[in-house]
Amino acid sequence: MSCPNPQHDHAHCTADLIARAERTCEIRGSKLTGQRREILSCVAERHSAVGAYDIIDRMAERGARPAPITVYRALDFLLAHGLVHKIESRNAFVACSHSHEGHPTAILICGTCGTVAELDAPEIFRSLDARAKIQNFCSAQILIEMSGTCGSCRGKN
Ligand SMILES: [Zn+2]
Ligand SMILES: [Zn+2]
Ligand SMILES: [Zn+2]
């Protein structure tokens, strides 16, 4: 998966994502409850980083305003199942755009349009892990977030 094409059918993209999330939960014996599904669809509304309070606002527009703790708990669930990723540098979230079976992906953030894409680069993660081991450091999590300009923004210039 590369950067999402701005012309893509996003309704189809979101429906796909929700269906995949339901399958993932089913396989793992957990449940994508109505509220979790709604929070996931709020995150997936755009291919850009969304903060917890933006999610609350989006949900309030559709119905009742949820308590922050409800949203944080649902986000923890979605994170644990790899259905959303946390963007640490923005303290925000993005829906996972493809299944990568627990392998980490690098996050690409366009500074112009805010689009977030995922980059598969398992060899980079393996290499960092191996180098950390040389320093007798045992890594638990490696985060790679790259900021820059996406292809479609570059194409406009
Ligand atoms: Zn989309
Ligand atoms: Zn992902
Ligand atoms: Zn862009």
Q: Domains of the chain, with CATH numbers?
A: 7-97 (1.10.10.10), 100-157 (3.30.1490.190)
For every one of its 157 residues, what pLDDT tens digit does the chain have, with 9 covering 90 and above? 445 777 889 999 899 999 999 999 999 999 999 999 999 999 999 999 999 999 999 999 988 899 999 999 999 999 999 999 999 999 999 999 887 877 889 999 999 999 999 999 999 999 999 999 999 999 999 999 999 999 999 996 5
**Closest Cα partner for 145 from 111, 112, 101?**
111
* Å from CA of 37 to ligand 2 middle: 17
* Å from CA of 129 to ligand 3 middle: 30
CB atoms within 10 A of CB 118: 20
- CA 25 – CA 81 distance, rounded (Å): 7
* Å from CA of 117 to ligand 2 middle: 9
Q: pTM for the full model? A: 0.89
Question: What's CA 133's distance to the chain center, in Å?
Answer: 28
CA-based torsion, 75, 80, 84, 89: positive or negative: positive
* Å from CA of 107 to ligand 3 middle: 13
Q: Say which ligand is closest to the CA of 155.
A: 3
pLDDT of residue 2: 45
Helix (H, G, I), strand (E, B) or coil at 86: strand
